[in-house]
Amino acid sequence: MIGSLIWYNLSYYAKSLKFIAPCLGFIVFHFSIHSQTPIPIWGQYHLGAVAIFVLSNWIGTSLINCEDRTQQYITRLHVKNETLYHVAKIVSILLIMIPFYIILIFYPIVFGFFVRSLLVSEVLAIIAIHFLFSLMGVSMSVFFNANFHNQKNILPLQVLAILATTIPFAIIFEDNMFIRYATYLLPPLSFLGERFHDLDSGVFVADRGFLVFILYSLGYSFVLIAVYIFVIKKKK
């Protein structure tokens, strides 16, 4: 059932043509950051991961909103499982995001844009980072769909939420303990900003701190998704 529902979501989204704007935005971003060589490894991947977070927010909201309310009602009646319906939406968005971060990860490696080759362990860590940023972006995007609120235009609030999450306040205000601790309430994107700040082209080591980042990112995303599904089911 969930496979058929995912295929339906992807087909409906493709027919809506709402994927065109995000794809054009990605193309412009992709070629702008790869316009010259050599490029710093970790600064590049940090920038790419943040872009994936923003793009997953954009695509997530547009996919959920592309299906009109009447069609959504019919689909939910057919599925007969509200939770499955919303989970399929989220999985569909995550599947759409895979080609984008695969391109960002492997394009500079294949065409030799970096000053050195990356270790296999580093590539695996980078894939995990981009997936987690995509997951966090999707888990945030679901709260800005037309069914979750009664406001006609929620885009300004979504843009503010993205800016608040992506701006590295922990680095900018590193001497302000209140702001540093307040950033823990946001998705843990700032981890990479701090970790990659001085790494440049050095070797990335997946230590205990990286494991904490993975677990915290997964936990943060799953909690947001669980809250969203619980609230949206109560609103129906």
What is the DSSP code string of 109-122?
A: HHTT-SSSPPPHHH
Q: Which domain holds residue 153?
A: 2-235
For residues 89 and 227, give the distance between their C-alpha atoms in angstroms, rounded to a whole number. Answer: 15
Which position has the token pair 């309430």? 185
Share of the chain above pLDDT 90, in %: 32
Which position has the token pair 């970096």? 114
Encode pLDDT of 49-104 as tens digits.
Answer: 999 999 999 999 889 888 777 777 777 767 778 888 889 999 999 999 999 999 99
Total domains present in the chain? 1
Q: Which two tokens stand for residue 76?
A: 């939910």
Query: What pLDDT score was predicted for residue 85?
Result: 87
In this prediction, residue 180 has a pLDDT band, given cuts at 50, 70 and 90, of: low
In this prediction, residue 26 has a pLDDT band, given cuts at 50, 70 and 90, of: very high
Query: What pLDDT score was predicted for residue 212?
Result: 87
Q: Quick check: 168 pLDDT over 80?
A: no
Residues with Cβ within 8 Å of 81's Cβ and at least 6 positions away in sequence, in order, are 1
